[in-house]
Structure 1
Amino acid sequence: MKPILTLAAGLMAATAMHAAEPFLVAHRGASHDAPENTLPAFGLAWKQGADAIEGDFHLTRDGKIVCLHDYDTKRVSGTKKVVKDSTLAELQALDAGAWFKPEFKGTKLPTLREVAATVPAGKKFYVEVKCGPEIVPAMLEDLAASGLKDEQIVVISFQAPVIAEVKKVKPAYKACWLSSFAKESPLDPGTDEVLATLRKIKADGFSSKADERLDEGYLKAIRDSGFEYHCWTVDEVATARRFLDLGALSVTTNRPEFLRKGLSGVPPVAAP
């Protein structure tokens, strides 16, 4: 009976793996439906069933951490203030919601601690660092104060020195290096460069734009070398399915609910 039970257990495990829900990360929150990188967008992401939220973070002039993608506030507020040259109070005095829809008028730029406070138990928080390693001490202090467990936090950055510093100071946090690709073919960076960088900075994985030129061989080389692969930013069901089939452990999307329904076979509602 023992071999039969072992075989049955194996089949059940394989079925569970195949049936597992795709891990969806809400890009700047549910940013298709609410202003990006704001508490309304992050709150909506959880309501839409996201497994994680991703936010962009900068260090302000007075050593605080604010959630914003760009290096200045012009696009999301209509007023240009360079983040590194501004205090948190100056940045939070701006309206970061009216540009999106009138109903979000008065929405402010949140801090790292405010965003972390939205993360429910069992969910994850992808912290994208948009500046350099100088942010790391304040970031680790804020994350420690959040009460989130180490396994709930993933630090991501295009800046390799940021990932290296995080893994040096707080190795318990998962950290992934980000990269997009040059428009010319072949893919640049290639797998040799990616793997060399990941090893040098002791990253846990690689996260890239879901470039249509990426193929099984490129991503298999990364996975076979012991690194995770993740992709962004995907709002089309077919593209998400392709990258999940290629081994992506997570897909970052502006539309978590829309994408999950599409991947589960529920006919998605056309985007307005």
Structure 2
Amino acid sequence: MKAFICYFASALQLMATPLIVAHRGASHDAPENTLPAFELAWKQGADAIEGDFHLTADGKIVCIHDYDTARTTGTKKIVKDSTYEDLTALEAGSWFAEKWKGTHIPLFSEVAATVPVGGKFYVELKCGPEIVPVLIRELAQSTLTDEQVVIIAFDPKVIQTVKKEVPQYKAYWLSSFDKSSPLKPSADAVIKTLRSIGADGFSSKADPRLNQAFIQAIADAGFEYHCWTIDRPEEADRFEKLGAASITTNRPEFIRERLTQ
């Protein structure tokens, strides 16, 4: 019976239409990881937003991808060594376009507040397990339901800690692949890691070498498969056919329209 349930679940995943996840918001059209980018993603019809989060020196969670602020603000500050007051003083929009001048690095709570009823929030944790207790407090203070929150991270220890402390939230392990052949990590290695850390699924870079057998193995083992970051329609179409449960993209409206066509 258990084997049948796993087979049925994997078959459903392969038939389902993938969720469209806005990578750092609608980051093709607005500055990444900012409130304008997330608000625009919802207007463009995204099913979910994905943002990157770091812990500051004074215990706040801020939304920024890099470990320092140089690329998106023009001023270099190490995020973990800076206070939120230090970071919020920086301007994080004009690097992208002058119309976004005055945009700031948002707090986790500000990003969470943009999520509408029924929307999903993919929270990528960019630091170690030390961020998890703070995240738990932030989520408890938000209006998000358990079903709306998905935690993702490259660090297996972070996912393991999340599933131990707040198992009600889905959590996916992130990984890209090295350039060797065959793929590393292999499907067997991925499944072993997912089982050991209690993850709900695997989210990988949309490597062209990925095939049906690899993704089917993940699904047959009872895990979800997700992919990032896809901005080309033909690539989105391929991963939809391979059974990806979600496709993360910088262009949510564009990719949604092309898949619908």
Please give the TM-score of this superposition, normalised by the length of structure 2. Answer: 0.94
Counterpart residue identity of residue 169, structure 1: E
Pick aligned residue for 2:194 from 170, 194, 198:
198
User: What is the match of residue 209 of structure 1?
Assistant: 205
Q: Larger C-alpha radius of gyration, 1 or 2? A: 1
Pick aligned residue for 1:154 from 150, 154, 162:
150
The 1:165–1:19 alpha-carbon spacing in structure 2 relative to 1, beyond 3 Å, is closer
Q: Aligned-pair distance for 1:206? A: 0.1
User: What is the match of residue 61 of structure 1?
Assistant: 57
User: What is the match of residue 70 of structure 1?
Assistant: 66
The 1:114–1:212 alpha-carbon spacing in structure 2 relative to 1, beyond 3 Å, is same
Q: Give the Cα separation in 2 of the matches to 1:22 and 1:56.
A: 21
Q: Aligned-pair distance for 1:184? A: 2.0
Pick aligned residue for 1:185 from 160, 165, 181:
181
User: What is the match of residue 165 of structure 2?
Assistant: 169
Number of residue pairs matched by the alignment: 250
User: What is the match of residue 249 of structure 2?
Assistant: 253
Instruction: Say if 2:156 and 2:197, in contact at 8 Å, map to a contact too.
Output: yes
SS at match of 1:103: helix
Residue 109 (structure 1) aligned with residue 90 (structure 2): no
Residue 237 (structure 1) aligned with residue 233 (structure 2): yes
User: What is the match of residue 78 of structure 2?
Assistant: 82
Counterpart residue identity of residue 237, structure 1: P
- Deviation track 1:69-114 (CA, whole Å, cap 9, x = no partner) reads 0000000001000000000110110001010000000100001000
The 1:259–1:152 alpha-carbon spacing in structure 2 relative to 1, beyond 3 Å, is same
Q: Aligned-pair distance for 1:144? A: 1.2
Q: Aligned-pair distance for 1:17? A: 9.5
Instruction: Say if 2:174 and 2:204, in contact at 8 Å, map to a contact too.
Output: yes
Please give the TM-score of this superposition, normalised by the length of structure 1. Answer: 0.90
SS at match of 2:204: strand
Counterpart residue identity of residue 156, structure 1: I
Q: Aligned-pair distance for 1:143? A: 1.1
Q: Give the Cα separation in 2 of the matches to 1:41 and 1:99.
A: 14
SS at match of 1:120: coil
Counterpart residue identity of residue 254, structure 1: N
User: What is the match of residue 135 of structure 1?
Assistant: 131
Q: Aligned-pair distance for 1:264? A: 1.1
Q: Give the Cα separation in 1 of the matches to 2:13 and 2:215.
A: 20
User: What is the match of residue 258 of structure 2?
Assistant: 262
Q: Aligned-pair distance for 1:20? A: 6.2
Identity %: 66
User: What is the match of residue 122 of structure 1?
Assistant: 118
Q: Give the Cα separation in 1 of the matches to 2:144 and 2:226.
A: 22
User: What is the match of residue 3 of structure 1?
Assistant: none
Q: Give the Cα separation in 2 of the matches to 1:41 and 1:218.
A: 33
Q: How does 1:16-95 map to 2 (within 5 A)?
A: 21-95=17-91
Q: Give the Cα separation in 1 of the matches to 2:259 and 2:212.
A: 20
Instruction: Say if 2:91 and 2:104, in contact at 8 Å, map to a contact too.
Output: yes
Q: Which runs of 5+ in 1 are unaligned?
A: 1-15, 266-272
Q: Give the Cα separation in 2 of the matches to 1:194 and 1:21.
A: 23
SS at match of 1:58: strand
SS at match of 1:248: coil
Instruction: Say if 1:24 and 1:253, in contact at 8 Å, map to a contact too.
Output: yes
Q: Aligned-pair distance for 1:22? A: 3.4
SS at match of 1:238: helix
Instruction: Say if 1:133 and 1:161, in contact at 8 Å, map to a contact too.
Output: yes
